[in-house]
Chains A and B, each alone.
Chain A
Amino acid sequence: KAGVTQTPRYLIKTRGQQVTLSCSPISGHRSVSWYQQTPGQGLQFLFEYFSETQRNKGNFPGRFSGRQFSNSRSEMNVSTLELGDSALYLCASSEGQAGNQPQHFGDGTRLSIL
């Protein structure tokens, strides 16, 4: 069974641009969550999608948005990029809603803002 796949692995952008990151969950998993990982702030929850609906949202500005498609694949979009958005963005999937179920993580997309 293929794991969680995130594309691209690496991305370089400049301030003010926008970016879209993609995540394909494990087959059969309907919940996809996104996290931002930085050395200073650690792992921070961005949002969770379940059956194409945003179920939960962390404390990030509206520049961060996401969506989920009918095949459970998810995309995350960041607009008007800032230097502080440089981070490793991790996607995780689980079979059901992220309650007490463990999540399976992808290897992440490393985003660098110049």
Chain B
Amino acid sequence: GDSVTQMEGPVTLSEEAFLTINCTYTATGYPSLFWYVQYPGEGLQLLLKATKADDKGSNKGFEATYRKETTSFHLEKGSVQVSDSAVYFCALNNNDMRFGAGTRLTVKP
């Protein structure tokens, strides 16, 4: 069945460092891909999405490109802030949602 694999955390970075969280997927057909973020004590919030190959989703300085050839959707940000500390989930939707295990990011001042 469809599945999402993302890099295990936790990831700890200093403020202004470059962030990459890897995500690869397995799916039939052409799923939509998403990154969600979960802050402590809250539900998931949609961060960005891409619905077809080569689409780039972007929001709040985060970017991810839908790479069908490598079945990947890696999340990147050029300069992280303390406020970016959260758990990040990669997900696909191909008739139903499948989530990766989540990657906890901690950004230190």
Contacts and interface: CB of A to CB of B under 8 A. Distances in A.
* Chain A partners chain B: yes
Interface of A: 4, 6, 33, 35, 42-43, 45, 48, 56, 58, 90, 92, 98-108
23 contacts: A4-B43, A35-B99, A42-B101, A42-B102, A43-B44, A43-B89, A45-B96, A56-B95, A58-B96, A92-B43, A92-B97, A98-B93, A98-B97, A99-B95, A100-B31, A100-B32, A100-B51, A100-B93, A101-B93, A105-B36, A105-B44, A106-B43, A108-B43
Contacts of B31: 100
Interface of B: 31-32, 34, 36, 41-46, 49, 51, 89, 93, 95-102
Contacts of A42: 99-102
Nearest to A106: B43
